[in-house]
Structure 1
Amino acid sequence: MKGPALALAGIVLFSLLDANSKLLSGQYGVGQVVFLRYAVLVPLFLLARAARPGFGGPLRTSRPGLHAIRVACMMISAASFFLAFRQLPLAEGYLVFFTSPFMTLALAALLLREAVPRAAWFWCLVGFGGVLLAVAPKLGGGGGPLSGYLWVFLGTLAFSVTQTVNRRLRAEPGLVGVILWPGLVGLLVFGPLAWRDWMPAPPLDLFQLALNGLIAGAAVVLTAAAYRHADAARLGPYGFAALPVSVALDLALWGLWPDAATLAGGAVVVFACVMSERARRAGEAPVAARAAARP
């Protein structure tokens, strides 16, 4: 159970990261919040590497193009989720985020040329239908603005591309590619934005801004460790723990309780994700059997 335990801990930390960023979003811009996240994370990583030479893996890579794509997508997702949760309750944002497995499935078919069973495609459509079930009533009033849903959709798409690239880079171990390089690029990208919109922060806010870096780093490390102890098929369903965690945070911090449409849409999306994964694994079984039977 070590892998699932680490995955759950990472999910809780990512939810706390989004909640903390949402608390800060009312007074500080995306540049300042994300820049300070990396301004804390990068020095901590370098200190760990200085204390333990080689920590995080090798600095060189034979696939710089894929790393560049991953870093770009990580920048887009960091900014998009911040802008989305500035406008949306956490639970509604995570409902859209749960379409990521469907996007990753489609990207694997289009870019990695992986075979996807028809049943898996069907459940993808059902999952997106669940999102529409939850979101459509709110677009007419009473919910977050359309821009919030568009930002979270863009962030989810960027995250899905990141996950697809991760599958191509899974032979390269270490945390350099997921912490150091994105952190350095993040400082360069969000530094000018932070400078332009900088707001002086009182001690408590400064602590919260710095805390984002600690939470983000710990979440990435725990998630990476989880996938060293268990495969994606086993860990995938644990991602849905983010929904009850986000509901609890919405209730505790903002007094928000999800409406019936959000709960119904969430149930449809979770069920569709589970069925899509089952269909995908069922489709892989005959292929694996034929490969094992070859002389």
Structure 2
Amino acid sequence: MRGPLLLLSALGLFAVLDANSKLLSGGYHVSQVLAFRYAVLLLLLAVVGLLRGGALGPLRTQRPGAQLLRAGFMVGSGGGFFMSLRHLPLAEGYLVYFTAPFMLLALFRLLLKEPVPASAWGWCAVGFTGVLLALWPGLSAGGAWVAYGWGLVGAFCHAMVLVMNRSLRDEPGMARLILWSAAPTLPLLLPWAWAEWSTPPFGDALALAANGVLAGGATIALAAAFRHASAPRLAPLEFTALVFAVIADVTVWGVWPSAWVWAGAAVVSFAGVMAQRRGRAA
């Protein structure tokens, strides 16, 4: 169960990250938010490296091209979801995100040639049905299609990050993952962030820095999950992020879920449990 538990930990951290990003999205440009995130990641890596030496693993990689490709998709994922959640409620934005498990299964089959059993597709479909059940009453009133488009970009990039995580499972280590995801992209983001810079007060600066800590923890847990389990085992569990989105809506914005959301969350949870039972049996 190590892989599923790591994935659930990553989803919880991503939910807090998304809620924090949504709170920041009204006052700061995406480039500034991402630049803060990567700068904090590199600072934490340097501090831990000085205090603990090689405790986080090696920095060198035998596959720099693959590491850079993963870094690019990580920027696309973070930027896409940030732009989407700027205009959508958190739970509704997650509906677009939930296209990622289907993309993930298809990409694993096409790019990595890993078999995908029919049960994985089936439980993904059940989970997505639960999401539609939860969110359909709100969607029927219409939505921001540009925001949905950004969400699809983020979902595709997220799926590609997971594919690259699986492809790079022979290069574990937190130091390598953080360095090669942050160091190449921060110099590219800084000029853009400088042009759009808005000086944050102390509270917002802490929130921007927290994004880096949350993103680092979620990224490490996500990469570790796909070293211990396959996409067919983990993809249906992605839909449990709806539960984290509901918790965030309640605790941060005071929005209590409707009966439709509770029903959808029950279907999503059932699909996740059944997918794990089938995966363990297989």
- Partner residue of 2:24? 24
Shift of 1:100: 2.5
Structure-2 residue corresponding to 1:253: 252
Shift of 1:76: 0.1
Contact 2:131 2:242 in 1 (8 A): no
Partner of 1:178: 177
> Does the CA contact (< 8 Å) of 1:116 and 1:280 recur in 2?
no
Q: Quick check: 41-50 or 109-118, which moved more?
A: 109-118
Give runs of aligned pairs for residues 1-295 of structure 1, distance below 5 A.
7-125=7-125, 138-141=138-141, 144-223=143-222, 231=229, 239-259=238-258, 262=261, 271=270, 285=282
Residue 276 to residue 106, structure 1, CA distance change in 2 (3 Å): farther
Query: How has the CA–CA distance of structure 1 residues 218 and 130 changed in structure 2, closer, same or farther, with 3 Å as cutoff?
Result: closer
Task: Tell me whether 194-203 or 97-106 shows the greater mean CA deviation.
Answer: 97-106
Deviation at 1:26, TM superposition (A): 0.6
Deviation at 1:146, TM superposition (A): 1.7
SS at match of 1:185: coil
1:74–1:135 CA distance, 2 compared to 1 (3 A) = same
Once the two structures are superposed, residues 9-64 of structure 1 have per-residue CA deviations (whole angstroms, 9 ceiling, x without a partner) of: 44322211111111110111101111111111111102212333334333332222
Q: How far apart are 1:134 and its partner, in Å? A: 5.6
Change (3 A) 1:271 1:6: closer
Amino acid in structure 2 at the alignment position of 1:78: G
CA distance in 2 between partners of 1:216 and 1:61 (Å): 21
SS at 2:198 equivalent? coil
> When the two structures are superposed, what TM-score results if normalisation uses the length of structure 1?
0.79
1:8/1:114 CA distance change after superposition, 3 Å = closer
Distance 2:226 2:110 in 1: 24
- Tell me the distance in 1 between the aligned counterparts of 2:153 and 2:209: 26
Q: What secondary structure, in the 3-state scheme, does the structure 1 residue paired with 2:251 have?
A: helix
Contact 1:101 1:273 in 2 (8 A): no
TM-score (norm 2): 0.82
CA distance, structure 1, for counterparts of residue 9 and residue 128 of structure 2: 27
2:70 counterpart SS class: helix
Are residues 153 and 128 of structure 1, via their aligned partners in 2, closer, same or farther at CA, if it must alter by over 3 Å?
farther
CA distance in 2, matches of 1:218, 1:115: 29
3-state SS of the aligned residue for 2:241?
A: helix
Deviation at 1:215, TM superposition (A): 2.0
- Cα distance in structure 1, aligned partners of 2:216 and 2:272: 27
Greater shift in the superposed pair: 119-128 or 45-54: 119-128
Q: In 2, distance between residues paired with 1:277 and 1:39?
A: 37
- 2:166 and 2:223 in contact (8 A); partners too: no
Superposed displacement of residue 157, structure 1 = 1.3
RMSD, aligned α-carbons: 3.3
**1:243 Cα deviation after fit:** 2.2
Based on CA coordinates, which of the two structures has the bigger radius of gyration? 1
Runs (5+) with no aligned partner, structure 2: none
Cα deviation, residue 92, structure 1: 2.0
Q: Which amino acid aligns with 2:68?
A: A
Corresponding letter in the other structure for 1:69:
L
Q: Give the distance between the partners of 2:99 and 2:278, measured in 1 at CA.
A: 16
